[in-house]
Amino acid sequence: MAIDEATEVAAKQLGSAVGLSRKRIEQLEVEGVLRRTAKGRYPLLPNVRAYVAWLKDDQRKASRSAAASEVQAARAEEIQLRNADRKKVLIEQGQQEAIRVIDEIAGPLRSDLMAIPAQVTDDLALRRRIEDRIDGAFGAASKRAFMAANRVREAGLGLSSLSGLTGRKPT
């Protein structure tokens, strides 16, 4: 069979010649890359040339590459956001557990320390002074805890509150 400009083939044959499926040939026709004659057949040589030119089209490649890059960047950003959310949840869970542990220690410690003045002296004025000093020490610890929490929050870790450390707000 001699092939010339007038040689026409079916979509399946054209696809076989350029390594595409019949369906892809039809898609390229709809996109305007390939053309079909009125008889529903494809001029072989003009369509092979058109397909090769389409493959070489730098503008199409650039836009396709740019679109692929945008999709890839969007996926990477989505993954980063998911990972950040997971880290934040894990950090917050760790912080909540740390606060529970501190509360288990600090609450009873405060009660134990506040009982000492009554165990040591009957002098009410002296008891009040000792209790005030203990209370002041816990207040200072509370302030330090809130300052540390603010530093963590500013660093983006989202620590919610350490007010459970002493059961009071800092003064």
Residue 44's SS3 state is helix
User: Structural domain boundaries of the chain?
Assistant: 8-56, 80-165
pLDDT at 56: 84
Residue type (1 letter), 36: R
Mean pLDDT along residues 121-143: 92
Contact (Cβ atoms closer than 8 angstroms) between residue 45 and residue 3: yes
Q: Kindly indicate the confidence band of residue 146, based on its pLDDT and cuts at 50, 70 and 90.
A: confident
What is the pTM assigned to this prediction? 0.38
Percent of the residues in the chain that have a pLDDT greater than 90, as a whole number? 42
Mean pLDDT along residues 3-15: 91
Mean pLDDT along residues 107-118: 91
Q: What distances in angstroms separate CA 37 from CA 34, 42, 43, 126, one per listed residue?
A: 10, 6, 7, 109
**In terms of pLDDT, which residue wins out, 169 or 128?**
128
Residue count of the chain, please give it. Answer: 171
Question: By C-alpha distance, which of 51, 41, 40 is closest to 17?
Answer: 51
Question: By C-alpha distance, which of 101, 90, 114, 111 is closest to 165?
Answer: 101
CA atoms within 13 A on the CB side of 141: 17
What is the DSSP annotation of 110-157? HHHHHHHHHHH---HHHHHHHHHHHHHHHHHHHHHHHHHHHHHHHTT-
